[in-house]
Structure 1
Amino acid sequence: MAALETIEAESGPHPQASILILHGLGADGNDFVPVAQELDLDALGPVRFIFPHAPVMPVTINGGYRMRAWYDILGTEMQGVQDEAGLRRSRDMVEALLAREEERGIPANRIVLAGFSQGCAMSLLTGLRHAERLAGIAGLSGYLPLAETTERERSAANLQTPIFLAHGSFDDVVIPERGTATRNALQALGYEVEWHEYPMGHSVSMEEIRDLNTWLVKVLGAH
């Protein structure tokens, strides 16, 4: 399994926390660099940001066109067919990045796993199953993949991990109902979910960034 290429940025020497941000379909790690630059996390001390590039693969719903994707999209969401093999393969790659942070001296409880759209799905898939407690999981404009296996496969270590979920009420790519269904499913499993909805489409807003900022300071400052 090839390691994921990443972009990294540190807000100061000897970071004390890491934030891993996974992009959406067809984008790459550069997509969320500007968002990270809007965050004010000075209260936390130096932070390392990691922006991985998903592998390039053919995407079925886009006529087999090759693009960066964490997994294939096999059909419309109404058909409910998921690329389980692709999801699990990318989960292993994200796990390798989490392991590398620990090797570099950042314990799991100082790591936030975040993502947008497909990246949100990967953050939830990986974070809920990660063997050690993470500081938090943030999912923007996405959904819970392999929902039916979550309860069976989840890690006891992350049962209390705070989850930030946000969605645009006009999202026509991942419809808002998928966001609220994800929130409801996670709450039914006992997770602490902070839910936000914004009057926007499949995008990120400044209000959302501010709310995410507040949540990051809370979950990483509680150490």
Structure 2
Amino acid sequence: MESPLFYELRKPIKIDPQKTYPALFLMHGMGSNEQNMFPLVQGLEEQMFIFSIRGPISQGSGFAFFTIEEYGKPHRDVFRQSLSQLTQFIDDATEQYPIDKSQLFCLGFSQGSILSMSLALTLGDKIKGIVALSGYIPKILSEDYKIQPVDHLSVFISHGEMDGVLPYQWGVDAQNYLKELNAKVSFHSYPEGHTVSLQNRQDLLKWIQEQIQQ
């Protein structure tokens, strides 16, 4: 698939030509890369197409999806471009691969978490579920976008209680915001910093398995 965004794909070894499959779109955090996300979902590749997307901006030894104007506030134009590119990426992937369009999921950590929630809120019923690890919902969404209904949406939010990068309260606020919009939210807190613990990984894998079996 041609795309301005670099990505890697994991998929079932044997594709049944009579079937379509769920799809999971992975987005990493600032300064990381697409390879960093696959260990979180190892074991799911035989059940779904997994696209791990690299941020388009060089950031140290890794990459980012957007830059920051100030703490908790992305640069507006950069954020909008990244969200637009990701939206197009999802549309292109669902057209070019045997994907069940009713079973699209986004999973992200930190910046990727912010974008996962943003995609759900701007794409509405295109997205069935999201996993948002240590992120927040930026104000730019309510300022610049029409928030779509998400009463169909299933959400797994997790946040470290000792997160020194993005405050724990921001995760709580994201939970409350999505619940007010009638999304089905499962919130998980862990005695960790800005990271994904083993228990967190086990919990999110169980949650994804439950969603794709429904």
Q: Is the 8 A contact 2:27 2:52 kept in 1?
A: yes
Name the structure where strand makes up a greater proportion of residues: 2
- In the TM superposition, what whole-angstrom CA distance separates every residue of 1:48-98 from its partner, at most 9, and x where no partner exists? 11111101257xxxxxx6952111112224xxx432222211111111221
Find the aligned partners of 1:138 and 1:150 in 2 and give their Cα distance: 23
Alpha carbons 1:163, 1:192 under 8 Å: kept:
yes
Of 121-130 and 132-141, more deviation after overlay is shown by: 132-141
Aligned-pair identity (%)? 23
Ranges of 4+ aligned residues in structure 1 off by more than 3 Å: none
Is 1:76 equivalent to 2:77 in the alignment? no
- Corresponding residue of 2:79: 87
Q: How many residues are aligned here?
A: 207
**Contact residue 12 and residue 47 of structure 1 kept, 8 A:** no
Q: Cα gap change, 1:102/1:132 in structure 2, threshold over 3 Å: closer, same or farther?
A: farther
The answer to whether 1:123 aligns with 2:116 is: yes
Is residue 118–residue 141 contact of structure 2 (8 Å, CA) maintained in 1?
no
Q: Secondary structure of the equivalent of 2:55?
A: coil
Q: Which runs of 5+ in 1 are unaligned?
A: 59-64
In 2, Cα distance between equivalents of 1:151 and 1:54: 22
Q: Which residue number corresponds to residue 5 of structure 2?
A: 4
1:31 aligns with 2:36: yes
2:214 pairs with 1:219:
no
Task: Output the TM-score relative to the length of structure 2.
Answer: 0.87
TM score, norm. by length of structure 1: 0.84
TM-superposed CA distance for 1:105, in Å, is 2.7
Query: Distance in 2 between the 1:218 and 1:204 partners?
Result: 20
Q: What's the secondary structure of 1:108's corresponding residue?
A: strand
Q: Is the 8 A contact 1:135 1:220 kept in 2?
A: no
Instruction: Give the drift of 1:13.
Output: 2.6
CA–CA separation in structure 2 for the residues paired with 1:120 and 1:150: 19
Separation (CA, whole Å) in 2 of partners of 1:130 and 1:101: 15
- Are the counterparts in 1 of residues 41 and 205 from structure 2 also a CA contact under 8 Å? no
CA distance in 2, matches of 1:136, 1:144: 16
Q: Counterpart amino acid of 2:100?
A: P
Give the whole-Å Cα distance in 2 for the aligned partners of 1:148 and 1:90: 13
Letter in 1 for 2:69: L
- More displaced stretch, 119-128 vs 183-192: 183-192
State the secondary structure of the residue aligned to 1:214. helix
Q: Following the alignment from structure 2 to structure 1, what is the Cα–Cα distance between the partners of residues 47 and 74?
A: 38
Q: Equivalent residue of 2:118, what SS?
A: helix
Relative distance call for 1:193 and 1:151 in structure 2 (3 A) is farther
Letter in 1 for 2:12: S
CA contact (8 A) 1:82 1:146 kept: no
Is contact 1:131–1:155 with CA below 8 Å preserved after alignment? yes
Q: How many Å apart are 1:151 and its aligned residue? A: 10
- Alpha carbons 1:101, 1:107 under 8 Å: kept: no
The one-letter amino acid of 2:68's match is I
C-alpha distance in structure 1 between counterparts of 2:13 and 2:67, whole Å:
37
1:112 aligned partner: 105
| Matches for 1:183-198 after TM superposition, within 5 Å | 183-198=175-190
**Which amino acid counterpart does residue 50 of structure 1 have in structure 2?**
F
C-alpha separation between the residues in 2 aligned to 1:131 and 1:184?
A: 18
